[in-house]
Amino acid sequence: MAVIAGVLLIVGLAAIMVVRSQQPPSGVRAIVWDRESCAHCGMTISDHRFACQLQTASGEIYDFDDPGCLLSFLGERHPAVHAIYFHALEGEAWLQAPAVAFVTGQHTPMGYGLGAVADATPNAIGFERAQATIAELALHRHGGGGTPEANAGELR
Protein backbone atom coordinates (compact mmCIF):
# COMPACT_ATOMS: atom_id res chain seq x y z
CA MET A 1 0.00 0.00 0.00
CA ALA A 2 2.87 2.40 0.84
CA VAL A 3 4.49 1.67 -2.53
CA ILE A 4 1.27 2.56 -4.39
CA ALA A 5 0.92 5.78 -2.39
CA GLY A 6 4.54 6.67 -3.19
CA VAL A 7 4.03 6.03 -6.90
CA LEU A 8 0.84 8.10 -6.91
CA LEU A 9 2.65 10.94 -5.14
CA ILE A 10 5.47 10.91 -7.71
CA VAL A 11 3.02 10.78 -10.63
CA GLY A 12 1.02 13.64 -9.09
CA LEU A 13 4.12 15.80 -8.62
CA ALA A 14 5.23 15.09 -12.18
CA ALA A 15 1.80 16.10 -13.50
CA ILE A 16 1.94 19.38 -11.54
CA MET A 17 5.39 20.14 -12.96
CA VAL A 18 4.20 19.50 -16.53
CA VAL A 19 1.18 21.78 -16.08
CA ARG A 20 3.30 24.53 -14.54
CA SER A 21 5.89 24.32 -17.31
CA GLN A 22 3.15 25.01 -19.87
CA GLN A 23 1.80 28.08 -18.07
CA PRO A 24 3.03 31.57 -18.88
CA PRO A 25 5.54 33.00 -16.41
CA SER A 26 4.65 35.74 -13.97
CA GLY A 27 6.95 38.73 -14.32
CA VAL A 28 9.97 39.24 -16.53
CA ARG A 29 12.28 36.32 -17.15
CA ALA A 30 15.88 37.50 -16.78
CA ILE A 31 17.69 38.27 -20.03
CA VAL A 32 21.32 37.21 -20.23
CA TRP A 33 22.95 40.39 -21.55
CA ASP A 34 25.45 39.99 -24.40
CA ARG A 35 24.45 36.31 -24.81
CA GLU A 36 20.82 36.22 -25.96
CA SER A 37 19.72 37.30 -29.41
CA CYS A 38 16.73 39.36 -30.48
CA ALA A 39 13.85 37.16 -31.64
CA HIS A 40 13.20 39.52 -34.55
CA CYS A 41 16.52 40.75 -35.94
CA GLY A 42 18.97 38.28 -34.39
CA MET A 43 21.22 40.96 -32.90
CA THR A 44 22.75 40.27 -29.47
CA ILE A 45 20.84 42.02 -26.68
CA SER A 46 23.35 44.33 -25.03
CA ASP A 47 21.76 47.67 -24.18
CA HIS A 48 19.33 47.09 -21.31
CA ARG A 49 17.69 50.50 -21.89
CA PHE A 50 15.95 49.15 -24.99
CA ALA A 51 15.42 45.49 -24.09
CA CYS A 52 11.92 44.05 -24.11
CA GLN A 53 10.20 40.75 -23.68
CA LEU A 54 7.07 39.11 -25.06
CA GLN A 55 5.45 36.23 -23.18
CA THR A 56 2.78 34.29 -25.06
CA ALA A 57 -0.31 32.67 -23.64
CA SER A 58 1.25 29.26 -24.36
CA GLY A 59 4.32 30.12 -22.27
CA GLU A 60 6.83 30.97 -25.01
CA ILE A 61 9.23 33.81 -24.20
CA TYR A 62 10.76 36.07 -26.84
CA ASP A 63 13.42 38.68 -26.04
CA PHE A 64 14.17 41.73 -28.18
CA ASP A 65 16.95 44.31 -28.43
CA ASP A 66 14.75 47.22 -29.55
CA PRO A 67 11.09 48.10 -28.87
CA GLY A 68 10.61 48.44 -32.62
CA CYS A 69 11.66 44.82 -33.10
CA LEU A 70 9.05 43.64 -30.61
CA LEU A 71 6.34 45.80 -32.16
CA SER A 72 7.29 44.55 -35.65
CA PHE A 73 7.17 40.95 -34.38
CA LEU A 74 3.65 41.55 -33.01
CA GLY A 75 2.50 42.99 -36.33
CA GLU A 76 3.99 40.17 -38.39
CA ARG A 77 3.16 37.12 -36.26
CA HIS A 78 0.12 38.15 -34.18
CA PRO A 79 0.94 35.88 -31.21
CA ALA A 80 -1.51 35.26 -28.36
CA VAL A 81 -0.01 37.65 -25.82
CA HIS A 82 0.18 36.89 -22.13
CA ALA A 83 2.41 39.86 -21.20
CA ILE A 84 4.79 42.37 -22.76
CA TYR A 85 7.55 44.10 -20.82
CA PHE A 86 9.79 46.99 -21.86
CA HIS A 87 12.89 47.96 -19.91
CA ALA A 88 12.62 51.58 -18.83
CA LEU A 89 14.85 53.98 -20.71
CA GLU A 90 16.13 55.26 -17.37
CA GLY A 91 16.61 53.21 -14.22
CA GLU A 92 16.15 49.48 -13.79
CA ALA A 93 12.35 49.13 -13.91
CA TRP A 94 10.39 47.03 -16.37
CA LEU A 95 7.21 48.61 -17.72
CA GLN A 96 4.31 46.44 -18.76
CA ALA A 97 2.26 47.07 -21.88
CA PRO A 98 -0.15 48.57 -22.55
CA ALA A 99 0.56 50.90 -19.58
CA VAL A 100 3.78 52.12 -21.19
CA ALA A 101 4.63 55.07 -23.41
CA PHE A 102 7.57 55.87 -25.64
CA VAL A 103 9.74 58.89 -26.17
CA THR A 104 10.89 59.23 -29.74
CA GLY A 105 14.18 60.27 -31.26
CA GLN A 106 16.31 57.84 -29.23
CA HIS A 107 19.43 56.18 -30.64
CA THR A 108 18.24 52.56 -30.38
CA PRO A 109 20.01 49.34 -31.41
CA MET A 110 17.98 48.89 -34.61
CA GLY A 111 17.18 52.54 -35.25
CA TYR A 112 13.46 52.52 -34.48
CA GLY A 113 13.98 55.43 -32.09
CA LEU A 114 11.62 54.41 -29.27
CA GLY A 115 12.54 54.46 -25.57
CA ALA A 116 10.07 53.11 -22.99
CA VAL A 117 8.85 55.47 -20.25
CA ALA A 118 5.94 55.62 -17.82
CA ASP A 119 2.67 56.28 -19.63
CA ALA A 120 2.20 59.64 -17.90
CA THR A 121 5.41 61.09 -19.39
CA PRO A 122 4.78 64.38 -21.23
CA ASN A 123 5.26 64.31 -25.02
CA ALA A 124 5.43 60.51 -25.09
CA ILE A 125 3.37 58.42 -27.48
CA GLY A 126 1.21 55.56 -26.22
CA PHE A 127 1.60 51.85 -26.88
CA GLU A 128 -1.08 51.71 -29.59
CA ARG A 129 0.34 54.72 -31.42
CA ALA A 130 3.82 53.20 -31.27
CA GLN A 131 2.41 49.97 -32.75
CA ALA A 132 0.74 51.87 -35.57
CA THR A 133 3.88 53.88 -36.29
CA ILE A 134 6.06 50.78 -36.48
CA ALA A 135 3.49 49.07 -38.74
CA GLU A 136 3.58 52.11 -41.03
CA LEU A 137 7.38 52.04 -41.09
CA ALA A 138 7.24 48.35 -42.06
CA LEU A 139 4.95 49.20 -44.98
CA HIS A 140 7.37 51.89 -46.15
CA ARG A 141 10.32 49.54 -45.81
CA HIS A 142 8.69 46.65 -47.65
CA GLY A 143 7.38 49.03 -50.26
CA GLY A 144 10.88 50.33 -50.98
CA GLY A 145 10.82 53.04 -48.35
CA GLY A 146 14.17 52.20 -46.78
CA THR A 147 15.51 51.16 -43.40
CA PRO A 148 14.23 51.98 -39.91
CA GLU A 149 17.09 54.47 -39.63
CA ALA A 150 15.98 56.25 -42.79
CA ASN A 151 12.38 56.36 -41.62
CA ALA A 152 13.11 57.19 -37.97
CA GLY A 153 12.40 60.86 -38.63
CA GLU A 154 8.72 59.93 -38.90
CA LEU A 155 8.76 58.96 -35.22
CA ARG A 156 9.87 62.41 -34.13
Residue 53 lies in a domain: yes
Predicted local distance difference test score (pLDDT) of residue 139: 83
Residue 4 lies in a domain: no
Residue 7 lies in a domain: no
Residue 57 lies in a domain: yes
The residue segments making up the domain with residue 34 are: 27-155
Residue 1 lies in a domain: no
Q: What is the 3-state secondary structure (H, E, C) of the chain?
A: CHHHHHHHHHHHHHHHHHHHHCCCCCCCCCCCCCCCECCCCCCECCCHHHCEEEEECCCCEEEECCHHHHHHHHHHHCCCEEEEEEECCCCCCEEECCCEEEECCCCCCCCCCCEEEECCCCCCEEHHHHHHHHHHHHHHHHHHHCCHHHHHHHHC
Q: Would you give per-residue pLDDT tens digits along the chain (156 residues)? A: 776 765 555 655 555 555 555 566 689 999 999 999 999 999 999 999 999 999 999 999 999 999 999 999 999 999 999 999 999 999 999 999 989 999 999 999 999 999 999 988 899 999 999 999 999 988 877 665 444 444 444 444
Residue 90 lies in a domain: yes
Predicted local distance difference test score (pLDDT) of residue 54: 98
Residue 21 lies in a domain: no
Residue 9 lies in a domain: no
Q: How many structural domains is the chain composed of? A: 1
Predicted local distance difference test score (pLDDT) of residue 137: 86
